[in-house]
Amino acid sequence: MKFTDKAILLNRINYSESSLIITYYTLQNGIQKFLFQGGKKKANNLFPLSISEITYYSRPDSTLGKVTASETTQILSELPFHPIKSTIAFFIAEFLSKCLQTEEKEVLLFHFLEEKIILLDREKDISLFPIQFLLDFSEFLGIQPHVISKTGTYFNLMEGDISEIKPIGDIYAQGEPVQLIHACLAKELDIQHTNKLRNETLDVLIQYFQLHIPQFKTLKTLEVIREVLY
């Protein structure tokens, strides 16, 4: 059966000399994988987080659909070419691949991702973008950190609470990374931050997702984004 859907590209791998296996996050059907025969010839618009309208066939005997066309619906002028923005795009695409595993329809989440992708393409100051994205995205997963105290300096990674009370055990963060997380949650982006602090804060958030998302393990792009952005 033939379908048309809006889709955000998360991953592509070579399948043959001319074909690709592509993973999309779609508007109507969540995560979907497709065979795209001849896709390598159209690879110029198949970059991480590209937004397209795809035409595909669903096969009842296979979980792998077949894309016949992919047409760009949102022109991203900087994302494919800007070295730092494209690195962030690779990071976010891999991150989403770890977190989004179902074929359920999530219209609000799709539009959230669409807005963030466009913002990344247009924004000038992107130093805090990965941290802000992870925190905003965590709300859709139901695990956004909860601020119990505005002056809290401890982040309980198991409970997801930011407070003044030091948690029992050793799975918590404290100090400046917690203050930066708090500021980003409150959208107080005028806070001072260094490369070292952003790097430490990103580490805290990655550990937090690893604790709360069962299928979330390592990220191949993490060291790349550290080197390029931090």
Tens of pLDDT, residue by residue over 88-135, are 999 999 999 999 988 899 999 999 999 999 999 999 999 999 999 999
The C-alpha atoms of residue 22 and residue 217 are separated, in whole angstroms, by 21
φ, ψ at 23 (rounded to 5°) = -105, 125
Written as six digits, the tokens of 57 are 């066939």
7, 142, 151, 152: which is closest to 65 by C-alpha? 7
Average pLDDT score over residue span 13-31: 93
**pTM score, whole prediction:** 0.93
User: Is it the case that residue 38 has pLDDT exceeding 90?
Assistant: no
Are 134 and 216 in contact by the 8 Å Cβ rule? The answer is: no
| pLDDT (tens digit per residue) in 179-225 | 999 999 999 878 888 999 999 999 999 999 999 998 888 899 988 88
Amino acid at 181: I
